[in-house]
Structure 1
């Protein structure tokens, strides 16, 4: 048995708040405002004049719905006006349009974006900076010159290597496997892919990566890709979903093909969409962090930088916990694994 140097223990007590991620907004942009402080006696704060714009890669998928809920909760707790705008498809041009509109309206103090493309967003983000708007990234980064800092959910090497481990554990460390990623241009996904492939080469020589397929974070496209992978590779032993739409689509395809248990499905997804798949054996292990917590942290750090209060290593963020800072990257914490044994403990 190959030694797994980068596996980590599941964090069962990671902060997770229950949230409803089922609501769908059919508009291209979702714009929500809040500047009323929460009524929690120990956390009341006076409404500020600060406005933070949170821009996800795409709206109307469970992962970013949960981020939105955390961001709106932080807005209430911290007395910040929060604008949540996102495109209906994971496309950098749509994000550029949103950012341009925010600059022209002159209403925001901070723009926080999960970038669909690390390079294409640079000019418009620099434009925002020239208009005295603070810029940060979260979930997926841009080039460093276009932002103040990047909020990363986890250490990318640890995550990528762990995803490879979770698949290897479930296929006896041998056989063909495929990866379903999101957009080919997404910097965070490509970083995780790099470490998945590196870990396979170093520790699992009897496993073979046959294809990396891009879903563009589109659930319908992901489902069709998953079915095609099963058809194209009759000896396929496993699928890693490298973005949140991948594992549900792969598990559904595996279930419909009657191959639950013979083709392993692992990867990144909130637990709610994977609950039944984990229980019926169509998926084995799902990994993630709390996206709601990520939304909360992004608003909290956005408020701080308006007054030039920048994050620091081991800083305690109320409602989040201690964060790490390495150079210009904030790391929120460690990921958590969901299995059939513990998935009911989580609701997001």
Structure 2
């Protein structure tokens, strides 16, 4: 998308979910005099001061994938409608474990705003729609690390032997969860649903240690973010229902731009995708 629009895209970030390192990188982008910054905050509050600094320097500011403080961004580019996605996760879980029983939530970082929104809205939805579900413990952080999700899931399986389902949020978490379920041979007893890439999910979808992965095309999300930044810098408005080349029709509500509905990846269809 950058080449198509004549935009020089710098894609960078910390190697771990480190908010302070992310702030340092943003400071560097300001010093380099970039025209626009699009950030997926590890911690929304931590990046607010540096995003204000960017705006004061005349830099367009967007968030993508994960919301920042709404007051400091020009646009918030989101992959899916948060409420729709939060509910969809629980619907998928119930389809695979039934409407009653013990379940757990394994997430990425506890300060990741998008993950918290999906979990919080999903919990509220489940209280009404699926009162037979019982969350056995608080959401379990894995710090965006598959190995940590795997280790914590092993602990979880030991502590709660009647567990029937696990929801995994952040792309490494469901894979780590499925790895633990696979190792213990619990595919037929525990349903696992999570936010994961189809290529990563394949081995676990094949043997049922991961029942369904649900996500969006991250390449399209990146392309949409670059497109929005370019339109903003050129003084052109983004319209609801606009057909973005290579992305499709988008939804616009004020500052919030939503790419579209998620895709579900199963044993039957995951090979149809290349990301």
Q: Name the TM tier (shorter chain).
A: over 0.9
State the SS of the aligned residue for 2:136: strand
Gaps of at least 5 residues in structure 1 are 1-73
In 1, the alpha carbon distance for the partners of 2:124 and 2:245 equals: 36
- Deviation for aligned residue 1:314: 0.7
In 2, the alpha carbon distance for the partners of 1:116 and 1:122 equals: 11
Count of matched residue pairs = 274
In 2, the alpha carbon distance for the partners of 1:332 and 1:243 equals: 18
Provide the aligned C-alpha RMSD in A.
1.0
**Is structure 2 residue 153 aligned with structure 1 residue 226?**
yes
Higher helix share: 2
From 81, 89, 112, the equivalent of 1:186 is 112
From 151, 163, 168, the equivalent of 1:241 is 168
**Is structure 2 residue 86 aligned with structure 1 residue 160?**
yes
Q: Equivalences for 1:45-124 in 2 at 5 Å?
A: 74-106=1-33, 108-124=34-50
The ranges of structure 1 where at least 4 consecutive aligned residues each deviate by more than 6 angstroms after the TM superposition are none
**Is structure 2 residue 104 aligned with structure 1 residue 202?**
no
Corresponding residue of 2:202: 275
In 1, the alpha carbon distance for the partners of 2:193 and 2:10 equals: 33
Corresponding residue of 2:212: 285
In 1, the alpha carbon distance for the partners of 2:243 and 2:98 equals: 41
**Is structure 2 residue 237 aligned with structure 1 residue 310?**
yes
Corresponding residue of 2:225: 298
In 1, the alpha carbon distance for the partners of 2:169 and 2:113 equals: 12
From 114, 127, 141, the equivalent of 2:67 is 141
- Deviation for aligned residue 1:77: 2.0
Corresponding residue of 2:57: 131
State the SS of the aligned residue for 2:9: strand
From 259, 264, 267, the equivalent of 1:340 is 267
- Deviation for aligned residue 1:199: 1.7
State the SS of the aligned residue for 1:112: strand
Give CA deviations for 1:63-85 in whole Å, capped at 9, x if unaligned: xxxxxxxxxxx122222111111
Gaps of at least 5 residues in structure 2 are none
- Deviation for aligned residue 1:157: 0.6
In 2, the alpha carbon distance for the partners of 1:279 and 1:104 equals: 48
State the SS of the aligned residue for 2:241: coil
- Deviation for aligned residue 1:310: 2.9
State the SS of the aligned residue for 1:137: strand
Corresponding residue of 2:189: 262
Give CA deviations for 1:101-145 in whole Å, capped at 9, x if unaligned: 111122x10000001112111110010011111000001111111
Give CA deviations for 1:193-221 in whole Å, capped at 9, x if unaligned: 11210121111111101121011112221
